[in-house]
Amino acid sequence: MSQNTVAAKRYARALFDVAAQQQKGLEVEEELRAVVQAIEGDADIQTFISTPNIPQSVKMNAIRQALAGKVSQPVLNTIELLLDRGRTDMFSELLNSYVKIQGESLGLADATVYSTYPLSDQEKEQVASEFGQLAHQKIRVSNIVDKSLLGGLKVVIGDKLYDGSLSGKLERLEKSFNRRA
């Protein structure tokens, strides 16, 4: 486990504790997700916050102005703390850790479902229901389109992989033939 992952878990736990006290766990998760996506989705922002020639005070003021009134104080404080400590490379790990902590507190598990086409809301609910029974938890589904699957689904919940994809079945079939040869 990398140092960033360990540190991200600590920051995420602290942020979650504050959010839980304010009863805003899901709201903070959404805000944090939006901020991380904005930062990681824009190369100019990444360059700005990682450039050592720009004084920290300038970076802090820019972030405060950009996020003022758009995110809660705990999220803003966490982003500022990471900026101040030069930990801007761990935003996505912070988000992942926060989502995991938040999910555990609510009895939720996150499932990443890989499919050859975007799943409808009804299909996501069906996957959540079926795998929720299997995992004995309520499941939140995020869908990723992966054309290499050929058909079927691949579901990842935590560290478990449920591979019902056609490409996975063909791969297992090929391995069984190689064992016999």
User: 153-157 and 108-115: which strand pairing?
Assistant: antiparallel
**pTM reported for the whole predicted model:** 0.69
Domain boundary among 85, 103, 121: 103
Both 119 and 175 in one domain: the answer is: yes
Q: How much is the average pLDDT of 81-90?
A: 87
Domain boundary among 43, 77, 103: 103
Report the 10 Å Cβ neighbour count for 122.
8
Both 71 and 117 in one domain: the answer is: no
Instruction: Supply the mean pLDDT for the chain.
Output: 86
Both 123 and 99 in one domain: the answer is: no
Both structure tokens of 181? 């040869």
Both 7 and 91 in one domain: the answer is: yes
Domain tally for the chain?
2
pLDDT-derived band at 1, boundaries 50, 70, 90? low
- The values of phi and psi at residue 17, to 5°, are -60, -45
Domain around 175: 108-180
CATH number at residue 170: 3.40.30
Whether 15 has a pLDDT exceeding 90, the answer reads yes
Both 67 and 125 in one domain: the answer is: no
Both 76 and 137 in one domain: the answer is: no
Q: What is the dihedral of CA 163, 128, 145, 142, to 10 degrees?
A: -120
Both 98 and 173 in one domain: the answer is: no
- CB < 8 Å & 24+ apart, contacts of 127-131: 127/153, 127/155, 131/155, 131/157, 131/162
Domain boundary among 103, 121, 152: 103
Whether 20 has a pLDDT exceeding 80, the answer reads yes
- Above pLDDT 70, what percent of the chain? 98
Report the 10 Å Cβ neighbour count for 118.
10
Both 11 and 64 in one domain: the answer is: yes
Q: How far is CA 137 from the centre of its chain?
A: 18
CATH number at residue 44: 1.10.520.20
Q: What is the dihedral of CA 133, 139, 144, 149, to 10 degrees?
A: -10
Token match 């609910």: residue?
A: 125
Both structure tokens of 178? 């190689």
Both structure tokens of 119? 């799943």
Report the 10 Å Cβ neighbour count for 6.
11
Highest mean pLDDT out of 88-92, 118-122, 133-137, 147-151? 118-122
